[in-house]
Amino acid sequence: MSLARGKPGWPGWQLGLVLGTGALLGFLLAATLNEHTTSAPDAGASVRGLSLATTAATASPLPAQAARELAEVLQRVSAGYVDPVDEHVLMQQAARGMVASLDSHSALLDAADYAQLRAATDGSYAGIGVEVDGNAGALRIVRCLPASPALRAGLKGGDQIVRIDGREVGAANIDAAAAQLRGPPGSTVRLAVRRGTGTSAGASTLDFQLTRSQVELASTAAETLAPGFGYLRIREFTSATPAEVDAAIAQLRAQAGGRLRGLVIDLRDNPGGVLEAAGTVADDFLERGTIVSADGRLREARFRMVATPGDLIDGAPIAVLVNGNSASAAEILAAALRQNGRALLLGARTYGKGTVQTLMPLSDGRALKLTTARYYTPAGDSINGIGIEPDRVLGSAQQAPASIDATGRAPTLARRDAPVAIALAELRGAAVRPTHTY
């Protein structure tokens, strides 16, 4: 079963509710906080059902004393700071500081950050199609995305980008350099790439000119582990994830002759994403029961998601892999399957992010990402700062998931990835059920 978009009982504003650890901002973000939102509205317009005008009207007016204090600080800084400062910049920084002081997940986003966040949420962006790692002061290509300009040009994983449009890439400008790889479709970018081992002495430098295009970011990957047993990796939750899961399960079922005997869902290193996507995926495997609930001060931040009849794999046992980097929307899916008696949880204690962020576009092209609710598992637990303890702790769970087997190759993932092997063994053992059900 697959949830239809806009399904009765699932409020349309949910896509505006955001989850994530905050580790995803940056080029390709290796995943992202992810939201799906409309373009910036005029004041008073609706953002996925959340009225900006109504929200603003419920706030208390700023006390006169507080307003005077703020004006006095602004005046003293503007007049007396050792270097001239722009009052407009000061006010922007004051607004950023106000929001950032609330918690580690709330933020005032400028137009560029907002655009990055929306691109990551939608599962596509305009660029050259590479995942990059900025560690150790270098911009290293982790992988080229399928059908991307980078792949067509001959770039490879392990290549180090040393110049972009003639500008050197170094530790001081890693973030800015990564942002340069994005740009409007049809625009070009020139790269100097170091390929080989060691430093420049043992590596060759190659020049590439690429034309940027729209690149699709797959949030899932799947393969058959053994006859009848499927593997589904969800890297993050974007608005495209539910459709990707539907397609992956259909493919796995076809490879199994129409019916799966068991499924491993790998949520290791999944930082979260779109709440509605996680809820939809949970409903794909549940016949009934609460998926998640949330409570906040805004009416729109109070909700409960409930599963509807239908199961994509007809009740076949599920083992879910998690680790300390499984956060937010990933924890929602893990808790929903486990506490509804549908899956065994294997790995390490999860991250423990139990709050919901709403993305509120502002009239000047920026956006406010604000914590508006706490969410609760089907058992009514808040996992914020606590995480979820798995049914079976695996010492090797913190290792990064192994790469998926290439299409057409014999399955080797279970031999190369110890937690996957353990999950497969659990599925083969019998009908899997967690030790704690609710």
The residues carrying an active-site annotation are 328, 353
Which residue from 271, 319, 336 is spatially nearest to 426, judged by alpha carbons?
319
Question: Within its chain, how far is the Cα of 48 from the centroid?
Answer: 19
Q: What is the DSSP letter of 392?
A: E
CB burial readout 304-320, b (16+ within 10 A) else e: ebbbeeebbbeebbbbb
Beta strand spans in 272-366 (E):
290-295, 303-306, 318-322, 343-347, 355-361
Q: What is the DSSP letter of 221?
A: E
Tokens 């901002």 locate to 25
Q: What is the length of the chain? A: 438
Please tell me the distance from the alpha carbon of residue 10 to that of residue 3, in angstroms, as a whole number.
10
The two beta strands, 160-164 and 188-196, are antiparallel
Please tell me the distance from the alpha carbon of residue 32 to that of residue 273, in angstroms, as a whole number.
7
Please tell me the distance from the alpha carbon of residue 25 to that of residue 32, in angstroms, as a whole number.
6
Tell me the two tokens of residue 60: 């208390």
Tell me the two tokens of residue 240: 């495209």
CB burial readout 364-373, b (16+ within 10 A) else e: eebbbbbbbb
